[in-house]
Amino acid sequence: MGKILVTGGAGFIGSHTCVEFLESGYEVVVLDNLSNSKEESLRRVEQITGKKVTFYKADMRDAAAMKQIFAENEIDAVVHFAGLKAVGESVEKPLEYYENNLNGTFVLLAAMREAGCKRFVFSSSATVYGMHNPVPYVEDMPTSATNPYGYTKVMIEQILHDCCNADPEFSVVALRYFNPIGAHKSGLIGEDPNGIPNNLLPYIGQVAVGKREQLSVFGNDYDTPDGTGVRDYIHVVDLAKGHVCAIEYAAGHKGFMPINLGTGNGISVLEMVEAYSKACGFPIKYRIAPRRAGDIATSYADASRAKELLGWEAHETLETMCEDSWRFMQRNPNGL
Ligand code: NAD
Ligand code: WQD
């Protein structure tokens, strides 16, 4: 089937994607500097699949380490997750974000070119739709950003587009994730953020296990059915499967192709609180707080391109997303 280099493979989405590649018969090589993850996640990937992961603890900006990986492994394709991803932190530390995310991608692309590897799947984000496009978001809409993290995604997409123009043999799928949540059904891997969670689901999960007092709902005066923010939450296992489809699509199609990975359904913060409360069997405590700077009212995907080109669509429900997240939190209240 082939050997896939997964950068950032020890992280939340990367670890779930390793499982799906291994279960589809691929070999997996992971590069991760463990700046936001633990090697334990890869041991659990091996436990779930009964297969080996080749792991390099290295920084993607380290050109010598990157070169060594391509020299020691015949890499057929790359799935590029590695990057810093906290929106608020990117506003505080723009240089760190641009330096890590952009330079890391440059070093990776240079090593791929040297090794003659021409298949690439990139972790992009719905954040590239910016503040002004109407929902549902369609891939042809203009991209923009509102913070340095978002700009790294916009810029890397542009760079990849330019690389495809320069080399007609190069094939890139930029997967624009909506809001990945949930966990593997085994309860062995899931989302394990450092410090206070920025995102809704890990925060709710920590309230549920008693690590946080209550959720702050950021605004209930948006122009949405119940006034709280609406997002397109997608189960991380569905999302992970989309990467296997994208790698297979890229084998037969050259050029740059952005593709949304979402469900196409919008869920409000209060609907999510209710769904999670049902999954864990007791109410999640919350209070209404002021809006969070930079948030938009509503974001959800037009998911038709993924279905058309990749033959992929999301199958999990809001209910299973919450149940799977809760199972992971119960089994790993203190993370991995
Ligand atoms: P994560 O932090 O769990 O995973 C990213 C991994 O990259 C981590 O394991 C981290 O240690 C590693 N990493 C960071 N810098 C590195 C470097 N210089 N060298 C080597 N490894 C490095 O995040 P995630 O949620 O799994 O996200 C994966 C990708 O998907 C990221 O690019 C993120 O921007 C993108 N994305 C995430 C979301 C989301 O909501 N989780 C949404 C859209 C896009
Ligand atoms: C979801 C909703 C909040 C926390 C972010 C990034 C985006 C992408 C995914 C990477 C919003 C509300 C949240 C809380 C709350 N990441 N909320 N209380 O903002 O859609 O997207 O993560 O690419 O780039 O911006 O996700 O989970 O932070 O918020 O009320 O404690 O939950 O206001 O409506 P978001 P989120």
CATH code of the domain covering residue 80: 3.40.50.720
pTM above the 0.85 mark?
Answer: yes
Quick one: pLDDT at residue 186? 98
Is there a single domain that holds both residue 287 and residue 326? yes
Q: Is 123 in the pocket of ligand 1 (CB under 6 A)?
A: yes
Is there a single domain that holds both residue 35 and residue 86? yes
Residues with CB under 6 A from ligand 2: 85, 87, 125, 127, 179, 198-200, 203, 215-218, 229, 231, 269, 292, 295
Q: Is 60 in the pocket of ligand 1 (CB under 6 A)?
A: yes
The ranges of the chain with pLDDT < 70 are none
Task: State in Å: Cα 89 to ligand 2 middle.
Answer: 14
Quick one: pLDDT at residue 303? 98
Q: Is 8 in the pocket of ligand 1 (CB under 6 A)?
A: yes
**Would 191 be classed as within a structural domain?**
no
Q: Is 105 in the pocket of ligand 1 (CB under 6 A)?
A: no
**Would 66 be classed as within a structural domain?**
yes
For residue 309, which amino acid is it?
L
Active site residues: 149
Task: State in Å: Cα 246 to ligand 1 middle.
Answer: 18
Is there a single domain that holds both residue 47 and residue 113? yes
Residue with tokens 């330079």: 103
Give the separation between CA 119 and CA 60, rounded to whole angstroms: 18
Is there a single domain that holds both residue 74 and residue 222? no
Is there a single domain that holds both residue 248 and residue 277? no
Mutation pick for ligand 1 pocket among 37, 69, 85 (CB with most ligand atoms within 8 Å) = 85
Is there a single domain that holds both residue 119 and residue 73? yes
**Would 193 be classed as within a structural domain?**
no
Considering only CA atoms, which residue is closest to atom 21 of ligand 2? Answer: 179
Mutation pick for ligand 1 pocket among 6, 15, 29, 35 (CB with most ligand atoms within 8 Å) = 35
Give the separation between CA 55 and CA 29, rounded to whole angstroms: 6
Burial 286-320 (b: 16+ CB within 10 A, else e): beeeeeeeeebbbbbbbbebbeeebebbbebebeb
Domain count, the chain: 2
Is there a single domain that holds both residue 258 and residue 115? yes
Cβ–Cβ < 8 Å for 125, 143: no
**Would 114 be classed as within a structural domain?**
yes
Dihedral-angle region of residue 235 (phi above 0 means left; psi in -120 to 50 means alpha; beta otherwise): beta
Give the 3-state DSSP-derived string for the chain, with helices as H, strands as E and coil as C. CCEEEEECCCCHHHHHHHHHHHHCCCEEEEEECCCCCCCHHHHHHHHHHCCCCEEEECCCCCHHHHHHHHHHCCCCEEEECCCCCCHHHHHHCHHHHHHHHHHHHHHHHHHHHHHCCCEEEEEEEHHHECCCCCCCECCCCCCECCCHHHHHHHHHHHHHHHHHHHCCCCEEEEEEECEEECCCCCCCCCCCCCCCCCCHHHHHHHHHCCCCCCEEEECCCCCCCCCCCEECEEEHHHHHHHHHHHHHHHHHCCEEEEEEECCCCCEEHHHHHHHHHHHHCCCCCEEEECCCCCCCCECCECCHHHHHHHCCCCCCCHHHHHHHHHHHHHHCCCCC
Dihedral sign from CA coordinates of 116, 121, 127, 132: positive
Contacts 24+ apart (CB under 8 A), 34-39: 34/10, 35/84, 36/11, 36/84, 36/85, 36/193, 36/194, 37/8, 37/10, 37/11, 37/12, 37/192, 38/10, 38/192, 38/335, 38/336, 39/10
Q: Is 90 in the pocket of ligand 1 (CB under 6 A)?
A: no
Ligand 1, residue 192: give the atom nearest the CA: 3
Give the separation between CA 269 and CA 164, rounded to whole angstroms: 39
Considering only CA atoms, which residue is closest to atom 36 of ligand 2? Answer: 199
Is there a single domain that holds both residue 205 and residue 126? no
Q: Is 32 in the pocket of ligand 1 (CB under 6 A)?
A: yes
- Closest Cα to residue 27, out of 54, 65, 56? 54
**Would 192 be classed as within a structural domain?**
no
- Name the residue range of residue 226's domain: 200-230+265-300+322-331
Is there a single domain that holds both residue 207 and residue 179? no
Dihedral-angle region of residue 276 (phi above 0 means left; psi in -120 to 50 means alpha; beta otherwise): alpha
Ligand 2, residue 268: give the atom nearest the CA: 34
Considering only CA atoms, which residue is closest to atom 41 of ligand 1? Answer: 180
**Would 209 be classed as within a structural domain?**
yes
**Would 80 be classed as within a structural domain?**
yes
Is there a single domain that holds both residue 215 and residue 276? yes
**Would 72 be classed as within a structural domain?**
yes
Is there a single domain that holds both residue 225 and residue 259? no
- Looking at all shown ligands, the one closest to residue 81's CA atom is 1
Quick one: pLDDT at residue 1? 81
- Looking at all shown ligands, the one closest to residue 234's CA atom is 1
Considering only CA atoms, which residue is closest to atom 5 of ligand 2? Answer: 199
Q: The CATH number of the domain where 211 resides is what? A: 3.90.25.10
Is there a single domain that holds both residue 240 and residue 269? no
Quick one: pLDDT at residue 97? 98
